[in-house]
């Protein structure tokens, strides 16, 4: 069976449903180009947390699908200064007086391409900061972020392409707040499910959930790397890994009862993972920079802060693989 693409309405918004014999997904370009559904058809299992209604979604849109974070996580006091320019972001975490989650996940994106090439489906969407004059305080330069989704068999490749179309250099960081239904199976028990991350460092956080600059070896490195149960445990923690790590940069989620495993890979620019979970879902969040990176008095090698010069473009690649076990 070849792939298919269908225009639909979801949450009163235009959306794109696409799939093949193994997988069906749904992208909502007008809702931050969020991948709001990823269903493994062989097991009839919805891998991502999908809202049942517009009301549910509006309560906390960051907790559904795969929101794009640019910049990722928190910015202390909602601002930072870089090479003489001040970048200001709205304070939207009032109790801790931070900005959180960036400015792309709730903006409409433009659809550039929808096509089926035999067994491959390609969908391309784009965000341009120049379309939003109210973002000039946060993006003094013109920034373009292009997302390309490629589905083949039971693998979804995701590429972000960030381009600085301005004159001055721009500090950037990106990530995803990917929200997995976990356990995957409706009858599965959390105690029988496992999640692994390729990390061996943990960043100490203060009461505002910002890094103190202290980095420790993870207390249970082998357990985290080999897979552990989330039963009775709550995380909102920031991890990293060594550049010379021989491990694949991937998070593996396994639900033995449901007979499904999801492998979530990031390229080597994604040096950091946040692990956040609540009842019924888990968010392994790959980041290119550490939380609040521009405000930390640490080297860019440690924080992952990178610069895009005028006309420069960077590509970031992630992959979701679903398999029966």
Known catalytic residues are 177, 285
Give the C-alpha separation, 198 to 227, whole Å.
10
Give the C-alpha separation, 322 to 192, whole Å.
18
Give the C-alpha separation, 230 to 236, whole Å.
12
Give the C-alpha separation, 243 to 232, whole Å.
32
| Paired tokens of 132 | 């939003």
Q: Are 91 and 98 in contact (CB under 8 A)?
A: yes
Helix (H) or strand (E) holding 225: helix 221-226
Q: Are 69 and 56 in contact (CB under 8 A)?
A: no
| Paired tokens of 33 | 């180009």
Q: How many whole angstroms from its chain centre is CA 141?
A: 23
Helix runs in the chain, H state only: 54-59, 221-226, 300-303
Q: Which residues pair with 260 in a beta bridge?
A: 255, 324
Give the C-alpha separation, 30 to 64, whole Å.
15
Give the C-alpha separation, 69 to 82, whole Å.
20
């Amino acid at each position: 069976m070849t792939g298919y693409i269908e225009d639909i309405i979801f949450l009163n918004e235009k959306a794109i449903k696409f799939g093949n014999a193994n997988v069906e997904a749904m992208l909502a370009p007008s809702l931050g180009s969020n991948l709001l559904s990823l269903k493994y058809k062989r097991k009839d299992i919805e891998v991502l947390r999908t809202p049942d209604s517009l009301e549910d979604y509006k309560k906390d849109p960051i907790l559904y699908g795969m929101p794009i974070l640019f910049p990722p996580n928190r910015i202390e006091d909602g601002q930072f200064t870089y090479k003489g320019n001040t970048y200001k972001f709205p304070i939207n975490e009032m109790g801790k007086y931070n900005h959180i989650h960036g400015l792309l996940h709730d903006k409409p994106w433009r659809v550039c391409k929808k096509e089926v090439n035999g067994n491959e489906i390609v969908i391309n969407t784009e965000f341009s900061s120049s379309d939003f004059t109210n973002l000039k305080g946060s993006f003094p330069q013109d920034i373009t972020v292009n997302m390309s989704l490629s589905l083949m068999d039971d693998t979804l490749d995701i590429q972000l392409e960030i381009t600085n179309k301005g004159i001055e250099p721009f500090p950037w960081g990106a990530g995803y707040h990917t929200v997995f239904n976990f356990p995957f199976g409706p009858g599965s028990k959390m105690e029988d499910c496992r999640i692994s991350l390729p990390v061996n460092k943990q960043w100490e956080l203060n009461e505002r959930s910002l890094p103190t600059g202290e980095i420790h070896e993870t207390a249970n490195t082998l357990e985290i790397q080999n897979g552990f149960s989330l039963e009775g445990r709550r995380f909102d923690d920031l991890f990293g890994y060594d550049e010379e790590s021989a491990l694949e940069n991937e998070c593996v989620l396994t639900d033995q009862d449901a007979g499904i495993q999801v492998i979530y890979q990031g390229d080597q620019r994604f040096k950091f993972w946040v692990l956040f979970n609540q009842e019924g879902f888990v968010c392994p969040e790959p980041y290119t920079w550490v939380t609040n990176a521009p405000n930390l008095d640490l080297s860019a090698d440690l924080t992952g802060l990178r610069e895009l010069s005028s006309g420069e473009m960077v590509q970031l690649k992630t992959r979701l693989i679903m398999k029966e076990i």
